Structure 1
């Protein structure tokens, strides 16, 4: 557990900072589609769920990428 916390707080390369931000945006778009106050077709809601999950995974993976090679 300590290694994961150290990786999460270690410096992140610039490329992965950009990917993290893209992931956050995807998660926000997916969440907005899922929480839309109007009735949407089932396929749109399904795609919104996949986009939200993909954004969350991309964000988590990008945050845990580090430049520190000693671990």
Structure 2
């Protein structure tokens, strides 16, 4: 199964929830990084980490599929 076929398969409920949390984290982190006001460096760093973690969680959760257990 290639990556395009994998992304078209149904995603289990737990991973759909995890994907939605990842999307929210990436959005919140992006908003912190792009804030038009001056923020402390630690807040910007947290925003960057949230964006990366959310993006990775979303991509990995979307790639998990229901189906046969063949490797």
Alignment TM-score, normalising by the size of structure 1: 0.93
Instruction: Determine the structure 1 residue equivalent to 2:12.
Output: 13
**Structure 1 segments unaligned to the other structure (5+ residues):** none
**Structure 2 segments unaligned to the other structure (5+ residues):** none
4+ runs of 1 displaced by more than 4 Å? none
Calculate the aligned-residue CA RMSD, in Å.
1.2
Task: Decide which moves more: 44-53 or 2-11.
Answer: 2-11
Aligned length: 70
Alignment TM-score, normalising by the size of structure 2: 0.93
